[in-house]
Structure 1
Amino acid sequence: MKRYSVAAVQRELRKTQTAIACATSCTPVLATMRKMYGERWTAAYIALWIVNVQDFFNVSGKMNDAQVEETAYMILDDFWALNVADIHLVFSRAKKGYYGQLYGRIDGSLIYDWFRSYFEERCDACENRTIRQSENARSDNPVTDDRATEFIQKLIQNKRIDHEAR
């Protein structure tokens, strides 16, 4: 599990920036970790991430050990389908201000909201991906990511040509 220490994951997954990338990352899922290592160990793993983010922000209103533990269990209970890459992305985004400013405090409710918001985004992204894959499978002329990128580049190029012509 040394491979999944907070620092190791941060280094390895720093370029993983989307919910789809996390979903396809092959990192361990919280439910699997709970089954393999136990609930207490998995909650402690999540707690390490919470402590890491608190240290990063260096805010005066920090959570005590009991609050960190309770928040970790709440995340484990409600977001068990997320994996290590997802946890990394949530906390990485929080550090970058994606979920808003902290205003000198960090608490369990705030962290839980980060996960709730991200989980909704991830579910929507995976659902849309599945729908697109299903539509492409039925199509005689499927739209692949490469074809979509090529189409968008052509549109941009045509727009430039039109703009330069004016």
Structure 2
Amino acid sequence: MNDYQVSSLVNAILDKYYYFRIEDVCLCFKRARESSSYGGFYGRIDGSVIMAWFATYDRERDEVIHSLDNVKTEYNTEDSISRDEYKELLLARIAGGDLYANADYMKMCEINNIFFDKRIEIGNYKYNRLHKFDKK
């Protein structure tokens, strides 16, 4: 395959299987190399062969995902606490001199800053990109 064919194949894979993670891609190629269920490898590789590998992998992946839905998971909610209760617990442990609680509290504050305080900035950025050429 030449560079143009590889580039167009990569774009086709990204368009069709946009939900794959890099681990999925690696596992697909590993299974294609080791398994006969992906079709025989006769010394030729082209876009249609690789796309067939991805289609086979996608079917297998869907079967596994749907079988996981049938497994009922029970969660123990008796010991669950809210975010605010966890924060109060950490502050109480910090007041008692627990250094690990202080580190956990710092991590919680950092996560809070990353995920919750940046939402407005991200929303404004997306809005401004979407309405960049609107008349004002």
TM-score, normalised on structure 1? Answer: 0.41
Query: Which of 1 and 2 has greater Rg?
Result: 2
Greater relative contact order (CA < 8 Å, ≥ 6 in sequence): 1
The TM-score with structure 2 as length reference comes to: 0.49
